[in-house]
Structure 1
Amino acid sequence: MSRINYSEIVVIDLEATCWSTPEETALNASEIIEVGVCVLDTFSGEIRMPQGIIVKPTRSKVSQFCYEITNISQDMVDDGVSFEDAIKTLKSDYKVSQKIMAGYGNYDQNMFAKECARNGVKPPFGPTYLNISSLATLKLKAGKRLDLAETCRQFGLIFEGRQHRGVDDAVMAAKVLWECIK
């Protein structure tokens, strides 16, 4: 087992296929279509290597509703990489097994585990996961979970990029995490 590098935290944000009604959702399998990822330097607060890895789903299509939320089109995912190749990128470029993983809430961790199980792939991350939403709720003394945009406002951060794009949400979640640990 390799040592954990505490000087960097890998922050992820996933986008997945989705539908506008419970009926459509029940008929379709939600799959990851973007792995937003960046690295937070825990000493300086610098955010490095932001990337949106577009993933080609194998069992579902991007709905109009999903496109309107994420701005990720079916054409984009058709040109995307396989889930397995996305994991290879996380392992090779981000060394995720040697770092703490963080995400805004538990969705990203749970969805990643679900996709790994469905694809017969071992999860690439180390054993430690930080829930940035929980840390921010405690730091702000909010008393309830806030969405990422509201948490940014509470910390005086201006949301940069597009909400519900994995790479932009990952960067903003990393900025929130820095506010919690600096």
Structure 2
Amino acid sequence: MEEQKENHPQAAPRETQHCRISDQETNGKNSTASSNDFSDPIYKEIAITNGCINRMTRDELRSKLAEFKLETRGVKDVLKKRLKNYYKKQKLMQKEPINGNSYYDYICVVDFEATCEEGNPPEFIHEIIEFPIVLLNTHTLEIEDTFQQYVKPEINPKLSNFCISLTGITQDIVDKADTFPQVLQNVIEWMRQRELGTKYSYSMLTDGSWDMSKFLNIQCRISCIKYPSFAKKWINIRKSYGNFYKVPRNQTKLTIMLEKLGMNYDGRPHSGLDDSKNIARIAIRMLQDGCELRVNERMHAGQLMTVSSSVPLEGAPAPQMPRYRN
């Protein structure tokens, strides 16, 4: 992927007027009008506070966030978004408590590694060689469990030197691994043991569209199995991040998202499991900042499609092993 230059937000001019936000404010009484009624005075309060926050310096933002025991790392625009969402959430919770059952219990973060060659010629067929999952508990905002298995490629069983160098996955590792259908069966069993889709609601999450719409889609065709139903819808965190923090697409690369949120990459880049853990760290920070990560992409008849944010929130189905193709 072509590297894009980072656009640094310009510092806002210093103003003498400061925003007054306190715990007393966020715990005060408000109008009982409908939360959908934007003539409600509570929305005027939120708008006024947002204006104040926009005029705060980075140091003032960090000081206020620290006062509320919130994360103080990140660029200025991220800090403003964090403080605005905290204040808005506090105000709206006073009007109508949030239903704790209205969101996914878990998010499964997936970032495949696949066979590749330098330059990735268009005729090259990518096969999945690492299947990782990071299980994120949305209630505790912690990584609760992980899954990782390597996969033996069948069409191009010999890894290129470029692929080995990029992913750190050696020829010996894939030679000893199971083929994709068996690994997928192990994935499904692992998910079933955690009662995903039965006792607990969940959604898949990826860093971009390719993991599901390209890599998994191609791999299922290679292995002559139907595309698994539990992976037909997912959260593309790049879209979610760009829409939530109002940044352009070239600012949604994994390392840039981490940097903007005040974090460094932890682990080995292009290790599927390490990439998944770092994506999960971004998801946790976004949830802390008030973002409702929700499904925004899906596969339909083999094609990638966008899911509107107006569609009711729905978790993925209980995982089942897909049937073999005729």
**Shorter-chain TM-score: what band?**
0.7 to 0.9
State how far apart, in whole Å, the 2-side matches of 1:48 and 1:81 are: 25
Confirm whether residue 63 of structure 1 aligns to residue 63 of structure 2.
Answer: no
Confirm whether residue 153 of structure 1 aligns to residue 250 of structure 2.
Answer: no
The amino acid of 2:137's aligned partner reads D
Larger helix percent: 1
Partner of 1:43: 139
Bigger radius of gyration, 1 or 2?
A: 2
State how far apart, in whole Å, the 1-side matches of 2:155 and 2:222 are: 11
SS in 2 for 1:87: helix
Larger strand percent: 1
Gapped regions of structure 2 (runs ≥ 5)? 1-102, 289-326
CA RMSD of aligned residues (A): 1.9
- Structure 1 runs (4+) greater than 3 angstroms displaced: none
Q: Is the 8 A contact 2:126 2:218 kept in 1?
A: no
Partner of 1:107: 210
Identity across aligned pairs (percent)? 28
Partner of 1:122: 226
The amino acid of 1:51's aligned partner reads F
The amino acid of 2:113's aligned partner reads E
The amino acid of 2:226's aligned partner reads K
Confirm whether residue 21 of structure 1 aligns to residue 119 of structure 2.
Answer: yes
Gapped regions of structure 1 (runs ≥ 5)? none
State how far apart, in whole Å, the 2-side matches of 1:131 and 1:33 are: 21
Partner of 1:137: 242
Moved more, 117-126 or 142-151: 117-126
In the alignment of these two chains, the number of paired residues is 176
User: What is the TM-score when the length of structure 1 is the normalising length?
Assistant: 0.88
Compare relative contact order (CA 8 Å, sep 6+) and give the higher one, 1 or 2.
Answer: 1
Confirm whether residue 167 of structure 1 aligns to residue 270 of structure 2.
Answer: no
State how far apart, in whole Å, the 2-side matches of 1:85 and 1:114 are: 16
Confirm whether residue 92 of structure 1 aligns to residue 189 of structure 2.
Answer: yes
State how far apart, in whole Å, the 2-side matches of 1:27 and 1:135 are: 31
Aligned match for 1:8, one of 99, 106, 111 = 106
User: What is the TM-score when the length of structure 2 is the normalising length?
Assistant: 0.51
Partner of 1:30: 126
Per-residue Cα deviation, 1:63-116 (whole angstroms, up to 9, x for no partner): 111111111111111111210111112211124972311100001111112211
